[in-house]
Amino acid sequence: MAKVSGCAFLCDESGVIQQVLRDDFGFSENGCQGKLFTSIIDQHSRSKSLNMILETKNKNLAFDYRLNVFIQDQLKSLYFMGVYLGKQILIIGADNHNEAIEFTNQLQQINNEQSNQIRILLKKQNEKITTQEKENEAIFDELSRVNNELINLQRELNRKNAELERLNDLKNRFLGMAAHDLRNPLSNINAISDFLQKKSDNFDERQNRFVNHIKELSSFMLNLVNELLDISAIESGNVKINSTPTNLVLLIETNINLNKELANKKNIEILFESNVDSLILKIDNNKIDQVLTNLLTNAIKYSNNDTKIFVSLKRQETEVLINVQDQGQGIAEDEVVSLFKPFQKTSTKSTAGEKSTGLGLYIVKRIVEAHQGQIEVESEVGKGSTFYFSLPLNSTS
């Protein structure tokens, strides 16, 4: 077996070199015996050499320390290991890990007791390395297995998502077709009942009750069908915003006037204030009118008789804020979070038996968001609710 070049120093626990056991690199020429081992190490590696000595004392063995040393004024990088021999530290250096192990076996200057102790420590270290390699291999196999399972699950999830998307699209198309086919006959029923209501003087009390019931139910059903058509368009991603320059102040005033008849039935007063006389925005006036109608009719629906509804418009620096505040029953805190979800209803009941589909606020939210705005609500049970939505001013014409 070829002789391996290396060095071996026997140091005390402080790291002072007591004996040079072997020196194939020429450290002894500078008289290293009696000096700290760290003194033969380049200053940039000295902190690592101290760590090696500490690890040797704490763990009996230190491996894998690549330290730079000066040999005959030349900087050389050597691989060092340390072995703790009771009250002494054996430091061995060579060009690489394998040569350090081989060099240790070839040392003739170390007595049998020290050699045996080194062999025992090296055997334990190799056993640790082997065990760690087996553990790492097992971990790698497990990670590979889990990764393969995740890939398969992802493929299955993608397949199911594609199927759900197809079924959802089919549902939306069916819903749209059904609602569209229902709208015409319901419109006719509603129009006929409206005509009959105007002829109520020719009916007795029982007939009037029937006509009013038909009108109420047909109006509710027609509104439901229209909302289902809106939902179908929203879910299909077909919400189209036809923006035109619109006077938002005038739009709100007109909407309030149209809803005053409904409010008058409960002796509810609607008040409006604005910090500007006119505000032209590029919006879909029909859809924003739909938002206002929903918020106002909800405020009327859940307010008691002889109360007030406050509507306000505030032009701010980057947006316009529209508030609809009522003096109604309010909404429980734990129910507020679900208000803008489809088919969600709260425990709050309308004050005159008015019906609700649970779709209106979901549609409102999507319309506002399609205009790059936001909608929020603040409510307190027994004091009323405030719905407010914003529209960006960058759409100002």
- Dump pLDDT digits (tens) for 230-249: 666 666 666 678 889 999 99
DSSP letter, residue 87: T
Residue 107 has a pLDDT of 67
Residue from 386, 216, 213 nearest 303 by CA: 386
Residues 6+ apart with CB under 8 A from 166: none
Report the b/e string of 73-89 with b at 16+ CB within 10 A: eeeeebbbbbbbbeeeb
Integer Cα distance of 33 and 42 in angstroms = 17
* Banded model confidence at residue 144, pLDDT cuts 50, 70, 90: confident
Residue 181 has a pLDDT of 67
CA distance to 104, 214, 228, 343, 358, per residue, from 181 (Å): 93, 19, 12, 22, 22
Residue 305 has a pLDDT of 92
Q: Taking residues 328-346, report their average pLDDT.
A: 80
Structure tokens, 229:
């058509």
Task: Give SS3 for 16.
Answer: strand
* Banded model confidence at residue 336, pLDDT cuts 50, 70, 90: confident
Residues 6+ apart with CB under 8 A from 313: 248, 249, 252, 272, 273, 274, 275, 276, 279, 320, 321, 322
> What's the pLDDT tens digit per position in 3-51?
788 888 889 988 999 888 888 888 877 788 889 999 889 888 899 999 9
% of the chain surpassing 90 pLDDT? 27
CB 43 within 8 A of CB 54: no
CB 397 within 8 A of CB 281: yes
Furthest-apart CA atoms within the chain: distance in Å: 130
Q: Taking residues 200-224, report their average pLDDT.
A: 78
Q: Which alpha helices (H) appear in the chain, and where do they start and end?
A: 46-59, 97-106, 112-198, 205-235, 248-264, 285-301, 333-336, 360-370
Integer Cα distance of 212 and 196 in angstroms = 9
Integer Cα distance of 396 and 392 in angstroms = 8
Residue 356 has a pLDDT of 65
CB 80 within 8 A of CB 5: no
Residues 6+ apart with CB under 8 A from 90: 8, 9, 10, 11, 21, 82, 83, 84, 110, 114, 118
Residue from 383, 242, 388, 241 nearest 320 by CA: 388
* Banded model confidence at residue 396, pLDDT cuts 50, 70, 90: very low
